[in-house]
Chains A and B, each alone.
Chain A
Amino acid sequence: MKVTVCIGSSCHLKGSRRVVEGLQYLIGENNLKDKVELGGTFCMNNCQNGVCVTIDDKSFSVSPDTVDDFFKTEILGKV
């Protein structure tokens, strides 16, 4: 599973660092480092809905406050 977080200016301001840190932590805690590849990209052309995250080709809007829920439903449940 490839999870990509937008780290462009707009998403950065909306908290992409905290989203990345949250995901990194959760992936580590759940021993998913071999199964989930976490990466960054600059701008997904959907700045209004930042922080933009994609899992494989599917797009999501995540905020630092919703990282836990997002991880549970979209990553942990599906990996």
Chain B
Amino acid sequence: MKVPILSIIIGVVDQKEVENKGGIKMVKKGIANQVAIIGCDMTKYGELWDKSQYDLLFEAVQGATKDAGIVKDDIDAAWCGIFYYFTGMSGATVEDMLRLDGKPVTRTENYCASGMDAFRNACFGVASGAYDVVLACGVEKLMDEGSSGLPGFKIFGHPVLPIPSAPAMFSMAATRSFHEYGWNKEDLARVAVKNHDNGSYHPKAHFRSKITIDQALRAPMIADPLGRFDCCAMSDGSAALILTRVEDAPSYAHGDDYIVVKANAISCYTNTPWYVPQGAVGCDFTHFPATEKAAAAAYKEAGITDPRKEIDLAEVHDCFTITELLNCQDLQFCDRGQAAEELKNGTFNWDGETAVNPSGGLKSFGHPIGSTGCRMLTEVTKHLQNRAEGRQVPDAKIGLGHNLGGAFSVCSVSILGQAK
């Protein structure tokens, strides 16, 4: 049964309907099916006190080049997702970590989509013909700043306009979704239980213990109604992927078993959704316009018409449990208001109709921000190549990675498929 969405009427008068020609435009050509992933790897994720960002990126890139059967000198250009200035500024810090000897390196920053945006830009690099082999990677070293929540809020933003913590931003969506959809804390807890269950099978995950609904419900509050198990942890980690054009891909280590990039989409909305009750799509705290737009654009580029059936696995941004529930709706895996029920029925389980976060997600890996997008696409690649040992999603042919960052501000969706 579909729950009707209450329209929110604000006390505004004299509104004229104005034609909206904004939004993401579909291009004539695009770069679908032109770029191949020929190698990838990720580090162990966790509280890696004895490693620096230099160690992490170095290890991820070394793993990815080895996976592709190349050496670092085969890389023509690199894009690296780094969110925080203290992890590293500019391509130069990446050069210091990798010693590529003057090659073009760009640091990308786009909130939680920083890593997936590095991947998107790297795709452009090879698809355009500017480069033959490129590196898309991401790294974040959060633990050196301490483990009590995202650092840095003291130095950016406005002096007095309120800046909620990251959990607070998303918990305002939880409060409103409880109100509109009739969900409760137990519905959220099921997301945590599912993801920690999946994560227990992943050797690289930060957390590998299963939890119970009761444990999640009893956890201390972080931002009401989100408790500790509703939130992803602070973590360190890095991931890297090697890309080339599809026609060149068979000559690398995986031969014909390379992975094709079917779509990349990014959508940006306001930094401050609390001031924007109704835009072209509108922020009513019960769905995320950026995810809706990016998903629609990515599905169109990839030629996907029934995401629930066609997407075999999705690494969905579960920075908070409520984020995963709402994103599953915005990614069209189910109708609005139905995510909690579908989750309960097993639709999003590892062996369900659409496996959501078979890796264990951010809940199990934590969220070293700049790295997460590349970590997701590495995970999807391994499933599509049938080498996700111990956690392989059966018959995975098409997979999706998704990030949503800021205050629901920036969304990235990338869709990968088998070469065939």
Do A and B originate from a single complex? no
- Which B residues form the contact surface with A (CB < 8 A)? none
- Which A residues form the contact surface with B (CB < 8 A)? none
